[in-house]
Structure 1
Amino acid sequence: TGHIMVGNLTSEVIELSRQSAAADPSVVGSLALLTHQSVATIQADLNNVQYSPYEPTPVYQDAPQSMIEFIRLHPGEFPGVTAVQVSTRTYPYGGATGAQILGYVTPITGAEISANPNAGYTTSSVYGQAGIENFYENYLRGVPGQRTVEVNAYGNIIGSTETVAPRTGDTVVLNIDASLQKALDTYLSNDIKLVRSAPDPTTGIVPAAVNGAALVMDVRTGAVLAMSSYPSYNLNDFTNGLSQSTFNTLEKEGAFYNYPLQGLYTPGSTFKLITATTMMQTGIYSPYTIFSDTGSYTVPGCVGSPAGCTFHDDLGQGAGQIDLQGALTVSSDAYFYNLGYLFWSQQGWYGETPIQNVAHQYGLDQLTNIDLPGEFAGRVDSPVVRLQLHQANPTAFPNYHWYTGDNLGEKPDSRGTRGRGAEPFGNGLRHLPALRHLLREPVPGRRKDRYGVAQQESRAELPLRGLRPREQPPVRRRLRHRPGRLRLRGLGAGRRRGLLLALPARGTGPQLGPEKPVRDPDHDHHGEVLDHDDDTKARRLSPGASSLGT
């Protein structure tokens, strides 16, 4: 069966009719004594303009059954007092698991009611403010019940003419693997704290590591199996009522940002896939040619470049004699520095931005259109982009020049959802990442699904030119399935049984996923972990993506 990540807890709420309280004020005192509240508190609830004057006003939450029974046994003492069942969100895997994906609900605001005049919202409704709760609000919210009443000239209810029963919301079944999500959240949080406590082995500086992002995606379909953001929040805080001090702390930390979608990171060695694709598309260098990696690369003919003339491998150790397959396996910087120089020195033949053009094919500077709100588009650095940034904000971007070294050490900003970068390189296709697997309606066929089931978009295959045609598939397989683990900075590979998760709609019962897990072939999942502090830290985090995927 599926696993419920968000459920509902039913509780009793005591309500009081304004008309009854006005006719018999003693009921306010009796109710205050029973609920251990002051008369002023209950009177404030009755005067709250948030509640309709023609509907009972909630005056006590989470009433115990003994209190409900006492009211029912003493109706003469409590005229106009009723008890109704309401549901609140619960999180079986804990409020910290997948918080940024799931999102939270809060009491609806006047602006939200005004923006949705025909949706049936009332002042007692809740509204999704982030994540899936927000993106699929139209499906999750259901339809509230309605009672039409007849009132006289004094505003008193004199009769009821029509009652419409409430309708529960739909269930959103996610692609998320709950166990993997929980493990990835824990890993990202713990390892960022570890990074903060240890000096960088190259610079000796202890990094701030203020935020981070992690993603695991099925590259065959675009299904997002787990996605984590740090710092984050606990969903239970919103259920229990978020205090202003807690809100201020979370806002200061940046916890309300979903960094896989809204954090711009330098991609580190994951960008080598783009450079490798450019190499094979243009044929500038054969993937079979042996390159001697001595641990550094000196730009031919370079003298006094502002960006420097000699570039070193991350750990300063050479990989020896390698071809493309070996360069990707050991993440050889020198190999790709050489490619950057070759493209820069032959601009007359390949143009000024051949690598950036392929990055665009991969979609690094475009929205992924994942089914979550608030996504930011990435940015791929280039001479034109750098000049545009400088012209827009000279203070923030004082340097608008482009040097040879920039082409070698190019670091485009991009979001954490660059998991789809491994997909075109691995199988030549590109899918839109998707969290939702399907929608389930309490009453099948009641509403039409506007979003589509998979939200996937296949792109044309990215050709790997430079390889003999019949050798392209074997080379793709060798690059994807080479024995051992790839040590690409920020990139991991592994295998895992896939499960579907159910996100219950507000007011729904248990949800079902597949009866049996589906076993995935090796290396069909791509894991990526990035933190705020450059390429080296991304590599230090990356083993988590690999180990979590096995």
Structure 2
Amino acid sequence: MTLIQPSSIGRQSTTRSVGRQFQSVIIMLFVTTLLAGGIGSRLVYLQMVEGDRNRALAENNRIRLIPKQPARGTIFDRKGRILASSRLSHSVFLWPIAQKEKPWTETRKSLSELLNIPESEIQKQVEKAGYNSTSLLRIARDINPAQITALEEYRSTLQGVEVDIEGVRNYPNKEVAAHILGYTGEMNDEELQERKDEGYRLGDVIGQMGVEAAFEKELRGEWGGQQVEVDGAGHVQRILGQKKARAGKDVQLTLDLDIQKAAEKALGDRKGAIVAMDPNNGAILAMVSRPAFDPNVFSKRITPETWKKVQSRGNPFVNRALRVFPPASTFKIVTATAGIESGKYSPNTVLGTYPYLTVGGIRFGEWNHAGFGPLGFVGALAMSSDTFFYQIGRGIGGPTLIHWTRQYGFGEKTGIELGTEELPGLVADNTWKQKRLKQEWTIGDTVNMSIGQGFLQTTPLQVAVMFAVPANGGYRVKPHVLKDNEESKNWRKSLNMKPETIRVVRQGLRQVVTSGTGKGVNVPELPPIAGKSGTAEAPPGLSHAWFGAYGPADKPTILVVAFAEHSGGGGGKVAAPMVRQVLEAYFKVKKPKK
């Protein structure tokens, strides 16, 4: 039997045998360690780095915070009629913490198309709130029915987006009293930073102007909210806790809606202002400024197109009743007071009037270029003689005239609650002129000031305060828009004027209407009215027109000041008819039917 040995050709020698039985075990241990390390490091990352967010995401699947905005207080006029209230509307909210990177891109794009809001604007709001925020973030207010329907149709694809009902500000009279009421709007970054300590939060709506801003604390109310448990579909299962929102307080103003509407109609489309006030206590009955705006436009997002349209009117947010202009001849009330109170001129003083008066080598002309012959204070007020009051100003000197100008309240804010929008005006003196112009005060400056020109700058509201002094018998009132039951004496102080001064000024203002420059308000339908006109030089444009009046002349209950900016006409022709319309509304004059 022959044994055949296997050939060794092509075979390799396998002399190594130690450790071969552990090779597979080592590889398995290495792979296991690698996997465990990767998983462990991921767990560490999720726990330590992303822990808070993931816990919040898990909690957000079950518990949500729903803030409840308080109802803003209602604003009423003096007779209880609504000037500003809140109406229910639909707003769009989203949950920042529920947004994931990839779906959020699609959600943001869909919201932009449905709501007509740039994606960048939505993204900016979310980043401002922070992706970890568990509170609702408002991204659109007062959406229309078509948008509500579209959002409902796409609800399944819009993760973390909800439509809810909330109150938005409503002004039923639209532009009427817009400047005194103001408007509301969402806080910007700067406002939020300033008021964070007061409990304000991102997306809060606050008063931005007028009464809405002045009484923000009273109107605002206090936020409430709910903590609710939801299911996977986002439906509320039960309320875990809640705090009721506290509505803001209502505010009643001194405004009379009828008088306000009459003043709005009287001013029309002219650029200017009208102020109607109770001369006995400073209660504002009406305040109009043109151009105006509709505060309802701020109840929803302002698009660039809307903003451009609003601004095209020409500075519509400027309250011209609180801006400064030269008061012109209305100021002769102050000059007459200063002249008699100084003791240098008796109430019976008579002075010649001329085509012009030369002072310091400069000719100061009379407005009629001829003069009126000899006049006393009463006649000079009636005819508004410039050369008469030039002589009074020159005679008493700058310091005395400046003193009485400030006594009447010029050069400082009146104290009205809208103080952040009010300008103090300017009563220049030697110190001011040296500082600003490096020049000494001259007698020419005093002469110019005596007829309400020169450096003097006043607001229509300040001019109304000036008219109240002769109207109420010598008291400077503090204008106010908040209605209360305080007695008149708490809103005014005496200027300690001589009875003769008050008598002469009142007689002069009455004669302005009966036989002077204000005959436009001397009509049988009205009670006896007293007033004063003014036409201010306003280079390089057309002149400003002024007229102020009060009535009844013997015991006034209302005064009205009308101002027409760059009207190009005289106060008696342009502004007096506006005052007459307001007085007719106040005294309920019934005009015959055509």
Same fold (TM > 0.5): yes
Provide, for residues 285-339 of structure 1, a one-character-per-residue CA deviation record: whole Å limited to 9, x for no partner: 222233444x53434xx5xx4532x421x23354455322222233222321221
Q: Hey, what does 2:467 align to over in structure 1?
A: 422
Unmatched segments (≥5 aa) in structure 1: 152-156, 193-211, 345-351, 392-399, 440-451, 497-519
In the TM superposition, residue 176 of structure 1 has moved relative to its aligned partner by 1.6
Change (3 A) 1:65 1:390: closer
Do structure 1's residue 330 and structure 2's residue 353 form an aligned pair?
no
Residue 549 in 1 paired to residue 555 in 2? Answer: no
Shift of 1:272: 0.7
Partner of residue 493, structure 1: 549
Q: How does 1:60-459 map to 2 (within 5 A)?
A: 61-62=141-142, 83-94=163-174, 96-147=175-226, 161-192=240-271, 212-244=272-304, 247=307, 250=311, 253-261=314-322, 263-293=323-353, 296-299=355-358, 305-308=360-363, 310-312=364-366, 314-316=367-369, 318-344=371-397, 352-372=398-418, 373-391=420-438, 400-410=439-449, 411=453, 412-418=456-462, 419-426=464-471, 427-438=473-484, 457-459=491-493
- Identity over aligned pairs, percent: 23
Distance 1:19 1:402 in 2: 68
CA deviation vs aligned residue, 1:473-526 (integer Å, no higher than 9, x gap) = 755654565554534212322459xxxxxxxxxxxxxxxxxxxxxxx9863322
| Cα 1:228–1:455 shift into 2, 3 Å | farther
| Structure-1 separation of matches of 2:342 and 2:155 | 85
Q: Is contact 1:277-1:425 (8 Å) kept?
A: no
Give me the whole-angstrom Cα distance separating, in 1, the residues matched to 2:216 and 2:228.
29
| Native 8 Å contact 1:215 1:228 kept in 2 | yes
Q: Deviations over 1:29-84 (max 9, x none)?
A: 8x969x95699969957982355731345566546779979999999999977543
- By relative contact order (CA 8 Å, sep 6+), the higher-ranking structure is 1
* Separation in structure 2 between the aligned mates of residue 145 and residue 189 of structure 1, nearest angstrom: 44
CA deviations 1:179-205 (Å, max 9, x no partner) are 33233334435344xxxxxxxxxxxxx
Return the offset for 1:377. 1.3
Q: What residue in structure 1 maps to residue 495 of structure 2?
A: 461
State the Cα deviation string for residues 236-278 of structure 1 (Å, max 9, x = none).
33234333465467399433332222x2211111211111111
Q: Are the aligned partners of 1:12 and 1:86 in contact in 2 as well (CA < 8 Å)? A: yes
**Structure 1 residues 56 and 40, CA, compared in 2 at 3 Å: closer, same or farther?**
same
Please give the secondary structure, in 1, of the residue aligned with 2:135: coil
Q: 1:462 to 1:329 in 2, by over 3 A?
A: farther
Rounded Cα–Cα distance in structure 1 between residues aligned with 2:152 and 2:567: 64
2:549 counterpart SS class: strand
Q: State the Cα deviation string for residues 79-99 of structure 1 (Å, max 9, x = none).
A: 9775432122222222x2222
* Structure 1: distance between partners of 2:151 and 2:273: 52
Contact 1:359/1:380 (CA < 8 Å) preserved in 2?
Answer: yes
- Distance in 1, Cα, partners of 2:216 & 2:557: 32
TM-score by length of 1: 0.70
Point out the more displaced range, 324-333 or 369-378: 324-333
Question: 3-state DSSP class of the match of 2:387?
Answer: helix
Spell out, residue by residue over 1:201-235, the C-alpha distance to the aligned partner (whole angstroms, 9 max, x if none): xxxxxxxxxxx333222111111122223333332
Cα separation, partners in 2 of 1:59 and 1:219, compared to 1, 3 Å: closer
- The aligned amino acid for 1:184 is A
For residue 362 of structure 2, what is the amino acid of its counterpart? A
Please give the secondary structure, in 1, of the residue aligned with 2:493.
Answer: coil
Contact persistence 1:229–1:258 (CA under 8 A): yes
- Displacement of 1:145 after TM fit? 1.2
Q: Taking structure 1 as reference, are residues 158 and 402 closer, same or farther at Cα in structure 2, changes over 3 Å only? A: same
Query: Which piece of structure 1 moves more, 319-328 or 14-23?
Result: 14-23
Q: Which has the larger radius of gyration?
A: 2
More helix by share: 2
Q: Which residue does the alignment assign to 2:35?
A: none
Distance in 2, matches of 1:225 and 1:39, equals: 41
- The corresponding residue for 1:206 is none
> Given that residues 470 and 502 in structure 2 are in contact (C-alpha distance below 8 angstroms), is that contact kept between their aligned partners in structure 1?
no
The aligned residue for residue 205 of structure 1 is none
Q: Answer yes or no: is the 8 Å Cα contact 2:254–2:482 preserved in 1.
A: yes
Q: Per-residue deviation at 1:433?
A: 0.8
The offset of 1:17, in angstroms, is 4.8
Assess, with a 3 A threshold, how the Cα gap between structure 1 residues 2 and 404 changes in structure 2: closer, same or farther. Answer: same
Number of residues paired by the alignment?
462
Describe the shift of the 1:57–1:289 C-alpha distance in structure 2 as closer, same or farther (beyond 3 A): closer
Provide TM-score, normalisation by structure 2. Answer: 0.66
For residues 39 and 189 of structure 1, the distance between their equivalents in structure 2, rounded to whole angstroms, comes to 36
- Are 2:82 and 1:10 aligned? no
The one-letter amino acid of 1:311's match is G
CA shift in 2, pair 1:68/1:521, >3 Å: farther
* 1:321 to 1:265, Cα distance in 2 relative to 1, 3 A: same
Q: C-alpha distance in 2, partners of 1:150/1:453?
A: 55
Q: Write the distance in 1 (CA, Å) between the matches of 2:404 and 2:270.
A: 32
Q: Relative to 1, partners in 2 of residues 1:47 and 1:409: Cα closer, same or farther, differing over 3 Å?
A: closer
- Structure 1 pair 288/168, CA: closer, same or farther in 2 (3 Å)? same
The gaps in structure 2 that reach 5 residues or longer are 1-78, 231-235, 515-521, 523-529, 535-545, 585-594
Specify the SS of the correspondent of 1:220.
Answer: coil
How big is each residue's C-alpha offset from its partner over 1:392-445, in whole Å with a ceiling of 9 and x where there is no partner? Answer: xxxxxxxx3544333222221222222111122332111211111149xxxxxx
Structure 1: how far apart are the matches of 2:302 and 2:117? 25
| Higher alpha-carbon deviation: 266-275 or 331-340 | 331-340
CA RMSD of aligned residues (A): 4.4
